[in-house]
Amino acid sequence: MHSTNQKVVIAMSGGVDSSVAALRLQEAGHEVIGLWMQVQGEGPAAEEPAFRQALRIAQYLNIPLTPIDLRSLFEVEVVEYFLREYLNGKTPNPCALCNPRFKFGLLLENALQMGAELFATGHYARIDSDPLRERLVLLRGVDRRKDQSYFLWGLSQEQLAHSRFPNGELTKAEVRRIAQKGGVPLTEEGESQEICFIPHGDYRAFLQRRLADRIGVKGEIVDTAGQVLGKHEGIFGFTIGQRRRIGVPARRPYYVLRIEPAFDRVVVGDKEDLLARGLVAQGMHWISIPPPHEEFRAVGQIRYRHAAAPCQVIPRAEDTVVVRFDEPQEAITPGQALVLYQDDRVLGGGWIREVEGGQG
């Protein structure tokens, strides 16, 4: 990382990744300013443990840290979306929605208003340029096990132009070593929560609490032939591919194949029934290439921990594609993001709306 003495604002969470990113920017000679995004809690930022942890690290690095209160807008645009998707039988991906709108949207806008030239985060991703297309491209992080480009497909060219990912060339082990060597005062966890607005990651408890007045009629759990196997307390408690806590006593394991909100019904079956050949994705955003008009080859990733698989991509409209995988994929889930890659390059992404050729 070259020193250019630029003013850089970094989103600080209090975790190891953003802390090391801030340290590396500082060591490169940049003027670093921290922003902390408040999206939950009833009181001021000073009452939030996450802010106090971020402030402790900022003070250690001698970096000013300012909290930005985005709770009201975050509730409407992210939390309500999260709840609505589960009520509609889908499995949402709030991080892919939050990043372009909040972290690289509102926080970046605040950074520019503060006179910063660049905005940084601790994401494991990289940015490069494509001189032939005269555009910036988003790349996977070097550490494929921690790569977070899957959550960043919604960024615009303008957002990429102002963004930096200091950890993109590092592995997680290297980041931890840098933190230890630099004496960064992390907590024992030293990590950000998987879903920042859900305490302890218990999304079912969160849904039950927040949807108590919106839960519909209890429904049936059926097999692929329509035979009733049991009852459920609400479709929001299920996601495609789920095996545990289905509530159907049986000698063989059942997996959730499909959720039918119109009938408050959950369809279960065998593990092999989870396989499907294709999907339809809408709301496509092409980050590293112009919108394609012809079929092309790529690898498609259907959830964060999924190993991207070779596929044929067929554009149906500027914002819709049909994807047909070379081999059937397990548990393609409406509501999750489809992200398309060629090698390390993120071509674009969109929201999975339909499953084709399988899953019950």
CB contact at 8 A, 296 and 344: no
* Mean pLDDT value of segment 6-30: 96
Last residue of a domain, one of 269, 288, 304: 269
Same domain, 35 and 139: yes
Last residue of a domain, one of 246, 269, 292: 269
Q: What is the CATH number of the domain that holds 230?
A: 2.30.30
Same domain, 66 and 174: yes
Whether 205 maps to a domain, the answer reads: no
Same domain, 262 and 307: no
Same domain, 149 and 165: yes
Whether 142 maps to a domain, the answer reads: yes
d(CA 330, CA 26): 44
Last residue of a domain, one of 269, 290, 310: 269
- Give the pLDDT confidence score for residue 125 in this predicted structure: 98
Specify the 3-state DSSP secondary structure of 207: helix
Whether 209 maps to a domain, the answer reads: no
CB contact at 8 A, 146 and 124: yes
Residue 3 has pLDDT above 60, yes or no: no
Active-site positions read 98, 196
- Give the pLDDT confidence score for residue 199 in this predicted structure: 72
Whether 207 maps to a domain, the answer reads: no
- Give the pLDDT confidence score for residue 191 in this predicted structure: 60
By residue range, what is the domain housing residue 259?
215-269
Same domain, 148 and 296: no
Whether 208 maps to a domain, the answer reads: no
pTM exceeds 0.85, yes or no: yes
Q: What is the CATH number of the domain that holds 30?
A: 3.40.50.620
For residue 335, give the nearest of 323, 352, 319, 348 by alpha carbon.
Answer: 352
Q: Look over the chain and give the mean of its residue pLDDT values, rounded to a whole number.
A: 92
Whether 2 maps to a domain, the answer reads: no
H/E element, 228: strand 228-232
User: Over pLDDT 70: what percentage of the chain?
Assistant: 95
Same domain, 229 and 300: no
Q: What is the CATH number of the domain that holds 291?
A: 2.40.30.10
Choose between 357 and 34: higher pLDDT.
Answer: 34
* Mean pLDDT value of segment 59-73: 97
In tens, the pLDDT along 327-336 reads: 999 999 999 9
- Give the pLDDT confidence score for residue 132 in this predicted structure: 86
- What is the number of domains present in the chain? 3
In tens, the pLDDT along 140-176 reads: 999 999 999 999 999 999 999 999 999 999 999 999 9
Looking up tokens 């997680």 gives 172
Same domain, 132 and 164: yes
Whether 113 maps to a domain, the answer reads: yes
Whether 25 maps to a domain, the answer reads: yes
d(CA 89, CA 70): 28
Same domain, 29 and 170: yes
Strand partners, 279: 323, 355
Cβ atoms within 10 Å, residue 291: 12
Same domain, 108 and 164: yes
Same domain, 87 and 173: yes
Residue 43 has pLDDT above 60, yes or no: yes
pLDDT band of residue 209 (cuts 50, 70, 90) is confident
Same domain, 152 and 300: no
Residue 247 has pLDDT above 90, yes or no: no
Same domain, 54 and 191: yes
- Give the pLDDT confidence score for residue 358 in this predicted structure: 66
